[in-house]
Amino acid sequence: MDKLCLWTPFPKQAEALKRHEFEILYGGARGGGKTDAGINWLIYNVANPKLRALIIRKNSKDLSDWSDRAYRIYQKLGAVRVGNPPKFNWPSGAVFSTGHLMDANAYTQYQGHEYQNMVLEELDQIPQEKHYLELMSSCRSTVDGLKPQIFCTSNPGGKGHGWVKRRFIDPAPPNTRFSTTTKLPNGKEIELDRVYIPATMDDNPILMDKDPAYVARIEQLKDKYPEKYRAWRFGDWDVFAGQVFSEFRRDRHVIKSLTPKASLTHFLWMDWGYTAPFSCHASALIRMKYDGEVFHRVVTYQEWYGVEKNPDEWAEEIFSEEKDESGNFKFHPARHRKFNKAVVDPAMLNTQTDGSTSIGDLMMRKWKDLHGESWCRMDRGNNKRHSQVPTMKNWLSMAPDGLPYWVITEDCTNLIRTLPELIYDEHKPEEIDTTQEDHAADECSYGLKAVKFISVGLGAFGKQPEKRKYEIAPMVDEEGEMGITLDTSKFGTGKVVRKRESWDI
């Protein structure tokens, strides 16, 4: 059926509708005509009596709005709307089913079904990629002439912002096909392709002409709420509305791999998880002095992160580190770090629900069994949510030497991945949404709360560093010894007085 018979797409919509990739993501900014594009994309194959399509929206209210907009077009083509959630029955026998994500089994209730076409509106509202993959598993075809295809729409900033960005935005430039290859058990390789088609309100001439006040309202966000403005106006996926730690910048806070010298104060921070990720980081505290001002800097330099390992396994991996030829962890006294203490998830020190030994005691017992000595003490971390965000924002701010108070090595991949993706809880707007992958942020907040933050004016929370002319300072501690080496080229130009790559411990 001719898709253009009742509706004429804008150029960006037309580009999205003609794509042949298995996954299409259309949108980005507000006002780009995402919903209309999805409604009309579905019309291509309605003449085929075996077509089954699925439309998913965030909640029943949004689904009702979509249904009303779609029916204004579909009824003119002979479709009949029935049921709740509504279905669209076409004269040919084709059927469009709809659903929303508020049901407890929203992501699994379609398993075993076959939908050749799927429209997933507001993809960023799906919190985890695995839920998307569960829905995607129902997009398949055993019907000749019906190619399985998914059409998604999205704005930056929802609970699923991070995984949507990694899946569609980061791998390739906009409008560019890219693919992944999956090897089947029989050895055959299958290529699955996808594409991102961006659109803004500038691509929607009807909106710009009929409702210029809408554009003006968005423009009013520009000065007071720049992150939200960039997301809504231009579909900026790097800094988005609702982001908790917009201060974090990879080119500012992430440094090259290094091992701080053993004489510094070293900590372990831990958040326990088995099916949810266990997260642990090693960090060092450096007492800094710059231009007569003394402050603290924290370097987070090693990460342990994963699922489905018991306390004994994590104890071996963290404390022994290296493996022998058989793949077993082995202990090297010369390399063993003396951590001053571990700051941990308070639940790790509680007796387990079945009355058995706490997770923390199990880890320390394993260490003593393996190496004949007690490990450092474990302290309960402060897990009060109201202080988590301001504490971490303080440490992410800039110190007097023009570098952050808290820096993270590139080895801490999961911390670097998850920290900028966290969003605020819509019901508790000062706190992190706990449905996100917040395990690394949680244990880092335990550790950072346990370290004294010395505010020296320029780095105080909420203030921006002054534009002072000075050379980039080397990482020299208060005694004049180099604590670590930063890749200072990432922060500007200047002379590095002294440089040293790493320290034996």
Contact 415, 300 (CB under 8 A): yes
Residues of the chain with pLDDT under 50: 1-4, 333-334, 457-505
CA–CA separation, 308 and 103 (whole Å):
28
CATH number of 250-490: 3.30.420.280
CA–CA separation, 152 and 196 (whole Å):
9
Same fold, 11-208 and 250-490: no
Q: What are phi and psi of 411, to 5 degrees?
A: -70, -20
CA–CA separation, 443 and 441 (whole Å):
6
3-state secondary structure 234-268: HCCCCCCCCECCCCCCHHHHEECCCCCCCCCEEEE
**Shortest CA distance to 344 belongs to which of 442, 243, 474?**
442
* pLDDT value of residue 454: 73
Judge residue 329's burial from the number of C-beta atoms within 10 Å of its C-beta, 0-12 exposed, 13-18 middle, 19 or more buried. Answer: middle
Judge residue 237's burial from the number of C-beta atoms within 10 Å of its C-beta, 0-12 exposed, 13-18 middle, 19 or more buried. Answer: buried
CA–CA separation, 382 and 214 (whole Å):
45
CA–CA separation, 401 and 405 (whole Å):
9
* pLDDT value of residue 3: 44
> No. of H helices and E strands in the chain?
15, 18
Angle between helix axes 34-41 and 60-74 (nearest 10 degrees) is 60
Count CA within 13 A, CB hemisphere, residue 432. Answer: 28
DSSP-H helix ranges across 93-211 = 129-136, 161-164, 205-210
* pLDDT value of residue 455: 58
What's the token pair of residue 256? 């090259």
What's the token pair of residue 183? 């090897």
Q: Would you call 191 helix, strand, or coil by DSSP?
A: strand
CATH number of 11-208: 3.40.50.300
Q: What are phi and psi of 379, to 5 degrees?
A: -105, 145
Domain boundaries, the chain: 11-208, 250-490
